[in-house]
Chains A and B, each alone.
Chain A
Amino acid sequence: MSDTPTSTSAKVLSARPPLWRDAVVLKWVTQLFLLFIVLTSLWFLTSQAGDNLEARDIPSDFNFIERPVDIQLSEGIDTHPDSGGRALWVGMVNTIRISIVGIIFATILGIIVGLARLSNNWLVNRLGTMWVETLRNIPLLVQIIFYFSVLTVLPRVTLESGPINGWFHISNKGISMPRVFLADGFYQWLVVVLIGAVVGYYVHRHRTRIHNETGTITSPTLWALAVITLFAIVGIFIHPIFSWVGSIFGALASLFDSLPVLVPQIVLSGVALVGAAMWVRKFIRKHRSARGHLSLVDDDWFRIIFTAAVSIILVFVFISWSGLSSWILNSGRDLFEVIESKFNVDGAARPFDAMRPEIIQKGKFPNYGPSGLTMSVSFAAVFFGVVFYTSAFIGENVRGGILAVPKGQIEAASAVGLRRSQALRHIILPQAFRVILPPTGNQYLNLTKNTSLAIAVGYSDIVQVGTTVFNQTGKTLPVVGIWMLFYLSCSLTISVIVNWFNVRMQLVER
């Protein structure tokens, strides 16, 4: 508020009110008072917890991540993890796995349910309503446990070929079916497909331009898809030529290995400081009038100070916590090494392979073998639980979204001569999608969080593994911290993706 423009009249100054009646002063005093109370309470509680933990001789550190633990997991990428950290990692992968599969199937089922609820067919309509009303009024946990108890009374698995010719096995050990899996050559093949995608993009642009110039129907999307498919098919045969790509990642890995810890520290600090500075500059520029007058109210000042403080705290954290930097370096190196090894395969490897489930004898009872796609009973219970439950809610969103498109829109579309299918594609769906997307994104978040109920049926998700870990080590607080961090990053990821779509949809609309 300091630099004033030249004013025609004499500059008039107002008298300042006394402090205890000044609205601005009171506003900030109240806020700081509350901040003080919150911080003191937090400090009080944590110090209490620290003392109590000390008294019970359970220090809250993260040692258990590297120490060996005695945990056997029911399923996952590693059923006998050698350390607490590895065990939690397996749990995270299991959570992510069931969430992604669940989201895909819940969406498909949800759309079907939503359309059924809109159907003119009385019976289909009623079925949809029954589905929705039943599933969303029974707690998910009850449903999961019910599915579990139903699945566990299925007949036992036998060594004879399963019920359907050895392709499908449904038993109290789970559900098993053949699968296609990614074989060694997949990543090389992926490079070919990526090149195909780039070419396809240009083809799409080219065809669109022709359409715009001449008005002939050029079906650009079809062309682009055809190009990508062509590349994908050709790639199956020629992908070994890309085995050299691995050496790029190898070089990156050795680069990360050789960097000193200081580099990421400096880079991170630089990003924090420069980012804050740029934000402040942009902010100030936005608040400066054409004549150069800067008008900042107290809230604006708070924002600037807050940004600066956060960036300085971040720099402090980066510098003082060298573990973070070395972790970044190490995991970067590991990541690139893994990618390198993915490319470093026999030239004859295929991108895909298929497998039938097989049964092996293990101990007294036969068990599923490593091949085929196997859903354990716990996985199946959680999977059906979250998919059915979420489908009811997504179905309601779909129905609401389509009903939310005003009738006038359909009339207008037919008035300008669009066919029904065209109206659906260009008019109704884009608008309905915009309404459907945000609540459905919310449902995806809920589904991810709901998979934590897996603990009730013994599926090794992060909560179940974490409970086992802290029961063994007594480190409850760190494990809970890891849980929260994990779920917060999952939520953040999903919100970012949904928001990205959301923004795109709104741009499309304009």
Chain B
Amino acid sequence: MTAEIVPVAPAVETPFRRFVAEFCASRLAVAGLVGLSIILLVAIFAPWIAPQDPYDLRQLDVLDGRLPPLSKSMGGKTYWLGTDDQGRDMLSGIMYGLRTSLLVGVGSSFFAMLIGMAAGLTAAYVGGAIETLIMRIVDIQLSFPAILIALILLAVLGQGVDKIMIALVAVQWAYYARTVRGTALVERRKEYIEAARCLALGKSRIVFRHLLPNCLPPLIVVNTVLVAGAIALEATLSFLGLGLPITKPSLGLLIANGFAYMLSGKYWISFFPGVALLATIVCINLVGDQLRDVLNPRLQK
């Protein structure tokens, strides 16, 4: 097109502003973003805003066990969302559980992204036997469902925050690697990389300053999806009794604790942690969905 040749007047519409405007075009996505911010704030400030420290056994009273929502404790406090079998305030439990769940989900996705990005960029830029090797491993791993791989790993490693994070990273790095390699391969053939090469720029400069930034949009989208996936998977594994230890319950474990009481109608022990988990994942997915629509050049009008 001729557009590149004509000097553009200092635009009021920067790419970032357009991005923001397009993102905000969906009210649902904005709601997701707001919800996500609230959840993050709650998780970060849980120790200051939670009515009770659920890990502090001195604050618990077994006599307050399994109280329905809105009941008063012996000490006159109100349990807004009821209590679990230990007499733990569900609201506080959920706030602390959110912390654990988010920490595990975001943390493991971050490490998975680092590893996957390194592997994907290496594969795309080095090529040859190394690329074949990396991508074969990725292909094989991706042909197995995440939960199966996580099951094997946890069966082997045992329980603990570090263990489950290792399992989640091992499950997710391959997605990042594939995404990064795919985009990097496409970008690599484009002219600006040719141009950078012609300028005899160093390899690392080309990879990190030219290639990587252009691979970011799909990576961001994949990242939101995978963070949500990591949180859900961690919850599922904890629910199956293979995840986090009882001492620092994540949302999944809270739900599992309530399962036993569900059939007797004490729904709140499972229900509310589930709602918190659901809200977190929904918000992340809403944001991710809109990001994908905005960042996908094929859908742009």
A, B: real partners: no
A interface, CB within 8 angstroms of B: none
B interface, CB within 8 angstroms of A: none
